[in-house]
């Protein structure tokens, strides 16, 4: 037999062997008991520290390769932009959360992960690294998210899943702890500076529009409720948001009130106007 014939025979044997192995694997997975045993074995193996370390090292090495990273990023991008893929992911997620056993495992994993500073730091660093590696990723993610949420079925399924997950006390606790720890003194300071700058810009816009005239003072130095209501009418007619109405009137009157208080003040004034004989 020539070398060429030997090679062809080897390829044929390899193909036949592959086919037998594939058929055997499919048959094994078709058996519910065998499939359950395999899934449990895989789950236990992945829970071991050694397995997680090997998986982490392999993933880091793979992502460190520029070509591999670009290939994966491009694949993820195309996948996330596909409405069909988004729909399948949403349906799979909803199905998984509907399974009590799976929901329990996912909830425990999420709670455990979010409670460690190391896990939060890794997640944050991964996101930053991905955005740095791909400057346009943030805009694409935002656009994809908006497109996904604009689908009524996807939005309904996601909302349902979020509500279901928040019924678990551990999930709520983990989320609250995560938010609390994320508000570091540095972040609070930056947010405060941003808010002050934004409010100053809004006030300047309102001033130019002639909407910052001070309220006349009434008895005790406080404006009367009717005057406040009239002022609110002026601001709302100019399409000023309720949060900005509150800020403006708090400054103008020197009294801190809630948005609800201002809404009620306007509502009472309008009712008096409607019931007035001269209206």
pLDDT of residue 61: 81
* Residue 15, helix vs strand vs coil: helix
All residues at 6 or more sequence positions from 259 whose CB lies less than 8 Å from its CB, including other chains: 242, 243, 245, 246
Average pLDDT over residues 49-77: 80
d(CA 261, CA 253): 14
To the nearest 10°, the Cα dihedral for 49, 51, 52, 57?
120
pLDDT of residue 222: 46
- Average pLDDT of the chain, as a whole number: 77
pLDDT of residue 172: 80
Tell me, yes or no, if the pTM score tops 0.75: no
**Which tops the pLDDT comparison, 213 or 30?**
30
Does pLDDT of 111 surpass 80? no
Instruction: Output phi, psi for 142, to 5 deg.
Output: -65, -45
To the nearest 10°, the Cα dihedral for 121, 122, 126, 127?
-40
Locate tokens 């944050």: which residue? Answer: 124
The proportion of the chain whose per-residue pLDDT surpasses 70, expressed as a percent, equals 85
């Amino acid at each position: 037999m020539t070398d060429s014939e030997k090679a062809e025979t080897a390829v044929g044997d390899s193909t036949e062997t592959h086919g037998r192995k594939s058929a055997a694997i499919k048959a094994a997975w078709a058996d519910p008991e065998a499939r359950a045993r395999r899934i449990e074995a895989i789950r236990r193996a992945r829970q071991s520290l050694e397995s997680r370390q090997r998986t982490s090292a392999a993933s880091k090495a793979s992502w460190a390769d520029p070509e591999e990273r670009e290939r994966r990023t491009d694949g993820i991008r195309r996948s996330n932009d596909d409405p069909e893929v988004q729909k399948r992911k949403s349906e799979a997620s909803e199905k998984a959360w509907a399974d009590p056993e799976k929901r329990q495992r996912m909830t425990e994993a999420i709670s455990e992960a979010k409670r460690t500073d190391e896990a939060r730091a890794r997640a944050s660093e991964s996101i930053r690294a991905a955005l740095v590696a791909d400057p346009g990723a943030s805009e694409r993610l935002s656009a994809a998210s908006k497109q996904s949420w604009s689908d009524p079925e996807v939005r309904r399924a996601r909302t349902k899943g979020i509500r279901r997950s928040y019924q678990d006390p551990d999930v709520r606790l983990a989320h609250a702890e995560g938010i609390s720890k994320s508000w570091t003194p540095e972040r609070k300071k930056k947010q405060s500076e941003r808010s002050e700058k934004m409010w100053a810009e809004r006030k300047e816009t309102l001033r130019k529009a002639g909407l910052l005239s001070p309220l006349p003072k009434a008895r005790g130095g406080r404006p009367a409720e009717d005057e406040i209501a009239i002022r609110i009418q002026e601001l709302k007619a100019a399409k000023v948001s309720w949060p900005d109405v509150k800020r403006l009137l708090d400054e103008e009157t020197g009294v801190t009130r809630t948005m609800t208080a201002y809404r009620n003040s306007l509502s009472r004034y309008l009712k008096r106007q409607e019931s007035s004989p001269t209206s």
